[in-house]
Amino acid sequence: MAEAATAVALAATPALATGETPVAEGTVLRVLPPRALVRLQLPRRAIAAAGTLRIGDTPLPTTPGRCAGDDPALLWLAPDGWLLISDHHDGAALAGEARRACGERTVAAVDVSDALVGFELAGARVRELLSRGTGLELSDETLAPGRCARTRLAQLAVIVRPRAAERVELIVDRGPAAWLRDWFVDAGGLL
């Protein structure tokens, strides 16, 4: 159901309707298909026990800037906050699973599937493009699969999740998502 709702939301954003945009030579930006996204927030007093919590079969990552698991993927965003991503779960079901995993603790597990848009930036000039809009360290070590970072990119708060050497996933609020796509087109034109 969340997938259908997300598809409707995407269609209602005409600027994002086209799936793939060439942004530089050999580099494209594509809109990722709808999927379940859940923001999990633990209360301060429960942070110490975060490492013992498991969503699916995967322990919550407690090391800053790390991802864990495949589906759902668990992205560390803050000492008390994570983003859960799944291609196979429904958003509400994933939020429910996160709440169950936290047991009796009072947690906020919010389905944000329709609030965020995922992009994939792929190609030989990915790092050059990113360097135009963020001061984030873009070395092989920090921009490697298994890592993630929330940073300021093109004046927006963007979650950067490297997927391969020349493939990076970007997650941004739906509102300014079209702006981010246009920004990459402009930045690509200046390379």
Contacts to other proteins by CB under 8 A: 64-65, 77-79, 81, 135-137, 149-152, 157
Q: How far is CA 87 from CA 35, 44, 75, in A?
A: 5, 29, 15
Q: Quote the least distance from Cβ 75 to other proteins, whole Å.
A: 12
The first and second tokens of residue 118, run together, are 């995922």
By C-beta, is 51 or 79 nearer to other proteins? 79
Q: Quote the least distance from Cβ 180 to other proteins, whole Å.
A: 14
By C-beta, is 157 or 191 nearer to other proteins? 157
Specify whether the backbone of 64 is left (phi greater than 0), alpha (psi in -120 to 50) or beta: beta
Q: Quote the least distance from Cβ 9 to other proteins, whole Å.
A: 24
Q: Quote the least distance from Cβ 64 to other proteins, whole Å.
A: 5
By C-beta, is 124 or 157 nearer to other proteins? 157
By C-beta, is 71 or 80 nearer to other proteins? 80
